[in-house]
């Protein structure tokens, strides 16, 4: 028993060291004085990078929440042609990593890509004669991340909406709630924990 305990303790110590040493090194560097390169970065580009990262996180979280929740509600509650197709088609972005989708969107929408080439062929305009959104920008990154990550919110929201009894939504409708009010005041608060988990995953 003691040999088994000592072996487990040895393995646990080894795993903790493997995990803890890199973290300890990073934390230790926080207390060391910064060099010239660090002061240069903090005075020039670092504030902009931090701000762009915060904007990216907030906008992607908001966008994935809107698309994922709306799509989950539509395919769960409403009957429309193609609903069965959309139930599984909405999760297809999970089949490709986000960086692959980023390369695909960039190649597809850049100046030499098929979309702008077709636009120029159809209109006879030159590359400088029309405005087209810049895909290699913060807005382009936000769009690609939203389109790549919304299925996490969609799956969590759909599972939450399926668990809710239809009687709850129907009861709210009989009490005079509009479809929007039934969603906003009844279904959404019940699904809030699952949706928050989906946004956190995204």
Concatenating the DSSP letter of every residue in 67-102 gives: HHHHHHHHHHH---TTHHHHHHHTTGGGGS-HHHHH
Q: Which residue has the tokens 């972005």?
A: 93
Task: Report mean pLDDT in 10-residue bins for the chain, 202 residues.
Answer: 70 88 83 74 85 94 93 87 89 89 88 86 82 85 92 91 74 77 80 85 80
Which CATH number covers residue 181? 1.10.3720.10
pTM of the model: 0.74
In a domain, residue 26? The reply is no
End-to-end CA distance of the chain: 45
In a domain, residue 178? The reply is yes
Residues shown for the chain: 202
In a domain, residue 115? The reply is yes
In a domain, residue 35? The reply is no
Contacts of 188 (CB under 8 A, 6+ apart): 69, 195
CA-nearest of 48, 52, 64 to 143 is: 64
In a domain, residue 4? The reply is no
In a domain, residue 71? The reply is yes
Instruction: Give how many domains the chain has, as a whole number.
Output: 1
pLDDT computed for residue 31 by the predictor: 74
Range of the domain at 196: 51-201
In a domain, residue 1? The reply is no
Burial label for 87, CB within 10 Å (0-12, 13-18, 19+), is middle
């Amino acid at each position: 028993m003691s040999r088994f305990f000592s072996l487990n303790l040895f393995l646990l110590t080894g795993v903790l060291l493997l995990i803890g040493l890199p973290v300890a090194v990073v934390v230790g560097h926080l207390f060391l004085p910064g060099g010239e390169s660090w002061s240069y970065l903090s005075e020039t580009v670092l504030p902009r990078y931090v701000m762009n990262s915060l904007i990216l996180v907030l906008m992607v979280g908001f966008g994935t929440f809107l698309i994922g929740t709306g799509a989950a509600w539509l395919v769960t509650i409403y009957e429309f042609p193609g609903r069965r197709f959309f139930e599984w088609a909405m999760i297809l972005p999970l089949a490709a990593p986000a960086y692959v989708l980023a390369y695909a969107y960039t190649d597809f929408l850049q100046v030499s890509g098929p979309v702008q080439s077709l636009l120029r062929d159809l209109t006879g305009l030159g590359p400088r004669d029309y405005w087209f959104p810049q895909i290699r920008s913060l807005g382009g990154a936000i769009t690609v991340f939203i389109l790549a990550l919304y299925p996490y919110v969609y799956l969590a929201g759909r599972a939450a909406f399926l668990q809710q009894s239809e009687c709850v939504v129907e009861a709210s409708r009989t009490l005079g709630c509009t479809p929007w009010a039934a969603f906003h005041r009844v279904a959404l608060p019940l699904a809030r924990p699952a949706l928050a988990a989906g946004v956190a995953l995204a």
